[in-house]
């Protein structure tokens, strides 16, 4: 997720490559990302933080607080942006020290192609300048919302994890196309473009999905037959359950 956000922001010119340093405990991961985007590799966490004004924390939530232990002396006048699912601002601020400026962000991987859906919440010490910086970065790679922190777990379940749900839907649509006689490459192209186009219709028209659906479905037609099959398979209920399950998991990660 962090790599997608960083690459997307660089591609859109929101971040200059020569201003970026990266570090990962897996050395090959650091070198690969640095090579991909033209950044430098820091020698350690301390080196990265000491030489940065803004630190993007892209660590698994269960490992983040442990990593931050002992860094209090390094966090003066730094902005920390966390994308760790479930990890609350209160816990981050406590680990980083009372002077640390923290913003909690939930982006998603389509940021890599400029179609991200992101949300953020600011910590108690974060400034308007910090907020504008985050809006500029996230806005350069898609849509961005500022929300109360209590909504971040739900956003994690919806848009943070959502691309994986949609990839599954696209794959299934393409498999259906192959089943009824289409070549695999054509079926996948049509499925992906159909999902992309349907989403763009909602964004551009502002109409409710149900209204747009009704414009496609005519009485006794092919679409109604297909929709009946979806209802029989409980697609709607399954997707709702997926968002709920991912939201609950985000909350669990925060508690652990």
Q: Give the structural domain span for 43.
A: 2-147
Whether residue 69 is predicted with pLDDT greater than 80 in this model: the reply is no
Spatial distance between the Cα atoms of 155 and 93, rounded to a whole number of angstroms:
21
- The rounded percent of the chain whose pLDDT value lies above 90 is 57
How would residue 198 be classed by pLDDT, with cut points 50, 70 and 90?
A: very high
What CATH number is attached to the domain comprising 11? 3.40.50.720
- Both 193 and 93 in a single domain? no
Q: Is residue 64 within 8 Å of residue 84, measured between CB atoms? A: yes
CATH number at residue 212: 1.10.3730.10
Q: Which pLDDT score is estimated for 72?
A: 59
Dihedral sign (CA 173, 170, 144, 114) = negative
| Ramachandran angles phi, psi of 182, nearest 5° | -85, 150
Q: Are residues 47 and 143 in the same domain?
A: yes
Residue 154 lies in a domain: no
What does the pLDDT look like over 131-173, one tens digit per residue?
999 999 999 899 999 999 999 999 999 999 999 999 999 999 9
Phi-psi region of 115 (alpha: psi -120 to 50; beta: other; left: phi over 0): alpha
Task: Say what the pTM is.
Answer: 0.87
- Based on the structure, what is the number of domains in the chain? 2
Based on the fold, state whether residues 142 and 185 are members of the same structural domain: no
């Amino acid at each position: 997720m962090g790599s997608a956000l960083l690459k997307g922001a660089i591609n859109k010119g929101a971040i200059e490559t020569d201003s970026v340093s990266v570090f990962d405990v897996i050395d090959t991961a650091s070198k690969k990302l640095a090579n991909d985007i033209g950044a430098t590799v820091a020698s350690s966490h301390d080196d990265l933080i000491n030489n940065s004004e803004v630190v993007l924390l892209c660590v698994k939530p269960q490992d983040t607080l442990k990593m931050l232990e002992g860094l209090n002396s390094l966090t003066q006048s730094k902005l920390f942006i966390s994308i760790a699912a479930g990890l609350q601002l209160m816990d981050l601020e406590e680990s980083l020290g009372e002077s640390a400026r923290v913003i909690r962000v939930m982006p998603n991987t389509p940021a890599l192609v400029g179609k991200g859906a992101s949300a953020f919440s600011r910590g108690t010490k974060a400034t308007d300048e910090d907020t504008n910086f985050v809006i500029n970065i996230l806005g350069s790679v898609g849509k961005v919302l500022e929300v109360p922190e209590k909504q971040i777990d739900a956003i994690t379940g919806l848009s943070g994890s959502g691309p994986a749900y949609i990839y599954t839907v696209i794959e299934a649509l393409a498999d259906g196309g192959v089943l009824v006689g289409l070549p695999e490459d054509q079926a996948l192209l049509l499925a992906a473009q159909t999902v992309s186009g349907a989403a763009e219709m909602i964004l551009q028209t502002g109409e409710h999905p149900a209204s747009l659906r009704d414009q496609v479905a005519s009485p006794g037609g092919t679409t109604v037959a297909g929709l009946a099959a979806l209802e029989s398979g409980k697609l709607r209920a399954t997707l709702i359950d997926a968002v709920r399950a991912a939201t609950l998991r985000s909350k669990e990660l925060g508690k652990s």
